[in-house]
A and B are shown apart, each in its own frame.
Chain A
Amino acid sequence: MDMEDRKENGRLVIRVSGRLDSATAPRFEERLMAAISGGEKRIAVNFESLEYISSAGLRVLLKAARELKTAGGGLALCCMRDYIREVFDLSGFVAIIPVVATEGEALNKIG
């Protein structure tokens, strides 16, 4: 799993590639939590190059979404492959975290 991020008009965009499983999710969690405690309130995660996600990855996203909501900001996810999207559908996460098609839409969602 690799991550790269950039700022886009005060919002943080994180691109995640490879595998997000219970072995790699802790690194993703560290990155997100460090960004949030560093004052980032609006975060978009681009999953275009994500090949795999398990419930360990979902757990991190849920935690980040909660923290950002408490901070008065938000989290949005974009560009995921259909079979990755299925995991978000099956887990009911699409109802609690915005999942959109493009990075532009994700940036709009978080304001």
Chain B
Amino acid sequence: MSTVTMGNALNQALHDAIAEDENVLMFGEDVGTLGGVFRITDGLTEEFGEERCFDTPLAEAGIVGFAIGMCLTGFRPVVEMQFDAFAYPAFEQINSHLAKMRNRTGGKVTLPMVIRIPYAGGIGGVEHHCDSSEGYYAHTPGLKVVTPSTPADAYSLLREAIADPDPVIFMEPKVLYWSKADLELPVQEPPFGRAAVRRKGTDVTIVTYGPSVPTALKAAEAAREEGWDVEVIDLRTIVPFDDETVVESVRRTGRCVVVSESQGFAGVAGEVAARVSERCFHSLEAPVARVTGLDIPYPAPKLEHTYLPGVERILDAIGRLQWDDVPDLTHAGASA
């Protein structure tokens, strides 16, 4: 066993994938000599050469479109977008081509590529460095959307993403890059489409993913003092979505809080809440609550603690679900 950060695990996954398959390439902005601004590609160019891990011009649409073309000749590119909000120039390539090519061509053209996007906040980043953009990608059929919350998952899910026959948007929670685990790599965790129960509980189910998982676990610990036994589910992959694990849990606990860092309105949390309501209506003791980021652009660093869904807001939401009569959820979550 050794201590591994999420950053180390991602780096090792890239390393192992490049070593195993000569078609796997890594490219993007500053990923070569520098090893990426978060050092996730550290040492790859050194070990495998510029042919396998290289810097591109500073152009996100260019990076994704170029990778699509390379897929046509049998490569499996992994590309890095430097930060969440800087993937937007590539959105047309992602939405109009990457997601649709298999369908457009009746399965004749497949695009096995991975777009790695460091995303979400909690690191005191300046504007455009903390967006949670998973909702845009999850809304687009043809893209798998993956977001690990542990180093083991980071390794395993990234290896699976690179091996996947379809395009994968791999969302890396920046705030967790330095989170640690005692781990022996390589590891193989459950495949895409399987959520993980991070904490067992009987009274309330928290459904969450990515950067909010540790916060939800902290809230669950704190809730124990109030006498509430909280189950925490980490989705791991938003697309494909694991209805089964979520539904099984909520039918058992009868209460559900969805926690997500992105703006709540029209987001992934709303989708989860709707699915739970549709499938668990007769088991629910209270409405499904959402605790999300506020419906504002990601704020300046000094205000991000007010924006982020923290332990207090989650506990508050859980508290509101405990009354026998229909609770007032007006302030349960940012978008409730």
**A and B: interacting chains:** no
B positions within 8 Å CB-CB of A? none
